Chain A
């Protein structure tokens, strides 16, 4: 037994004394405290699903007990909990405080600040609509972002490479580019055959501007020596663009993609609120119409998850593509 314990403990090194993670166990206590408050402190007004929510939070606490006892023996999971235990504790305490402030004391007034029970109710009864809205939003965003990124990239490469393209495109980009894409909204809904295609256009428009500018500056800042080296080695102009200029500019392009993605979120939500009859933005608007505050918080919660998830995805792709940039010395 002892010999089994030593090996993984020595490997992680973060928590040398014993395999048990005390902070993880403490986090489970935080969650159990939230359950106790939920069950034994009388709610101000009737709240649905109290027992179900207690079950969920209790389950979280139970899992944390197991993880805390298993601790450093659990390999990857153990390392994750060791790192995240303070956050797990904070979230448990946060849940308890939230319950007290809303359901138990009413310091945060209903219905503007929904109780945790009301939030659970939204997710249990309205998840098909939320799921559908989310998938609609992601798909709309994906289409717009794809077209915008491709267009911006091509414009940027053209401007970086050709004097003629740069001469004609720079003033246009300078003048029209900074205009927020949402300003086009009334016109776009009028010009395009459907609100969906208008939204795709607007999202593409908002993405293309930063991607074009950053691709352009990326290509403009490529070390001239790279071109001379490639030319002496027998490179054609096409080779110079595709194999020298573009890869050298990629770090800039990814900054542009990140900026484009961030602004496209704003355009997406506004477009959905004002014209498109689906998506999370529309759901938010719809919930406001019914004064369903819990639904609005739920939509915000999912929206945040969606946006941060997409940004994370972009960063993962960037890390994979720009692996050569990492300053890790292996020799």
Chain B
């Protein structure tokens, strides 16, 4: 299965991401609400970075800015050296909810990007490859309401991967799954990232998830978000959840979030 998939998706170049002095605020009934305060860091091409922080701290906003769905009030975001202006299929955002289109079958959902870009006719085989990659072969004709939460999120991943993005932006993609499916999907995510070679940015408030998946965990403080720590997870893949080094790092990360008293 894995060997097969390795052949299917060619190694694609992940893009570097440069975030430079980005500040952002929302307008709440006339009163500006600052959400990001002078954030700056660089992400190596092809790396897996987790943005960790309390809920509502603004890390999802940062992800939307990288996706190009919103524009920062101040500062610059560059992906592969180019300023981010608009959404682009080379940078795909996967939401906490799978948000599959309920009127489309699994196959038609995965085909969405190619259809929108007008390349479905010539590149149709990529749809089947993506469905196989996430392990949903045989479910092509199923409708979203017939899928479990984990399956739906796999379809959402396939819908992103079919576009061969350089950057995969994951906004708590496993947040609504049950804990067992969640563990399985975490392993799956690492596998997909390793095979495709893309740059992955994961937003999460789950410390263990961030440490298990990412090579680097950037810890944010409460809103307006500032970087409070930048941890390197110097462990090879596949990782073991019981690794004492992970426990050490977890204690450190929770310390930065002010929650280390229980550990």
B112 / chain A contacts, CB cutoff of 8 Å: 229-230, 233
Contact B99 A234 (CB under 8 A): no
A230 / chain B contacts, CB cutoff of 8 Å: 112, 116
CB distance from B105 to the nearest CB of A (A): 8
* Residue interface mask A320-331, B partner, CB < 8 A = 1: 001111111111
A331 / chain B contacts, CB cutoff of 8 Å: 139, 142, 146-147
| Distance A324 CA – B102 CA, assembled complex (angstroms) | 7
| Identity of the chain A residue whose Cβ is nearest the Cβ of B101 in the assembled complex | A226
| Identity of the chain A residue whose Cβ is nearest the Cβ of B112 in the assembled complex | A233
Contact B95 A225 (CB under 8 A): yes
| Identity of the chain A residue whose Cβ is nearest the Cβ of B91 in the assembled complex | A232
Q: For the complex, is B67 an interface residue (Cβ under 8 Å from A)?
A: yes
Chain B interface size range: 20 to 34
B62-91 at interface with A (beta carbon < 8 Å): 67-69, 87-89, 91
| Distance A324 CA – B147 CA, assembled complex (angstroms) | 12
CB distance from B176 to the nearest CB of A (A): 14
CB distance from A236 to the nearest CB of B (A): 7
CB distance from B260 to the nearest CB of A (A): 35
Q: For the complex, is A310 an interface residue (Cβ under 8 Å from B)?
A: no
Q: For the complex, is A5 an interface residue (Cβ under 8 Å from B)?
A: no
Contact B104 A229 (CB under 8 A): no
Contact stretch, chosen from A19-27, A88-96, A243-251, A270-278: A243-251
Contact B117 A234 (CB under 8 A): yes
Q: For the complex, is B40 an interface residue (Cβ under 8 Å from A)?
A: no
Contact B116 A235 (CB under 8 A): yes
Identify B142's interface contact among A239, A327, A330, CB under 8 A: A330
A234 / chain B contacts, CB cutoff of 8 Å: 87-89, 113, 116-117, 163
Contact A233 B92 (CB under 8 A): yes
Contact A236 B116 (CB under 8 A): yes
| Identity of the chain A residue whose Cβ is nearest the Cβ of B139 in the assembled complex | A331
Q: For the complex, is A231 an interface residue (Cβ under 8 Å from B)?
A: yes
Chain A interface size range: 20 to 34
| Distance A271 CA – B235 CA, assembled complex (angstroms) | 81
Q: For the complex, is B143 an interface residue (Cβ under 8 Å from A)?
A: yes
| Distance A115 CA – B159 CA, assembled complex (angstroms) | 67
Q: For the complex, is B115 an interface residue (Cβ under 8 Å from A)?
A: yes
Q: For the complex, is B201 an interface residue (Cβ under 8 Å from A)?
A: no
| Distance A235 CA – B116 CA, assembled complex (angstroms) | 5
| With contact pairs A244-B101, A250-B103, A331-B142 given, residues A233 and B89 touching in the complex (Cβ less than 8 Å) | yes
Q: For the complex, is B50 an interface residue (Cβ under 8 Å from A)?
A: no
Contact A232 B93 (CB under 8 A): yes
A205-231 at interface with B (beta carbon < 8 Å): 223, 225-226, 228-231
Contact B99 A223 (CB under 8 A): yes
Contact B89 A232 (CB under 8 A): yes
CB distance from B167 to the nearest CB of A (A): 11
CB distance from A241 to the nearest CB of B (A): 12
| Distance A176 CA – B67 CA, assembled complex (angstroms) | 44
B93 / chain A contacts, CB cutoff of 8 Å: 228-229, 232
| With contact pairs A231-B87, A233-B163, A234-B117 given, residues A247 and B101 touching in the complex (Cβ less than 8 Å) | yes
CB distance from A123 to the nearest CB of B (A): 45
Q: For the complex, is B97 an interface residue (Cβ under 8 Å from A)?
A: yes
Shortest 4 CB-CB contacts between residues of A and residues of B: A233-B113, A235-B116, A234-B89, A232-B87
Instruction: Please list the residues of chain A having a beta carbon within 8 angstroms of any beta carbon in chain B.
Output: 223, 225-226, 228-236, 239, 243-244, 247-248, 250, 322-331
Instruction: Please list the residues of chain B having a beta carbon within 8 angstroms of any beta carbon in chain A.
Output: 67-69, 87-89, 91-93, 95, 97, 99, 101-105, 112-113, 115-117, 139, 142-147, 159, 163
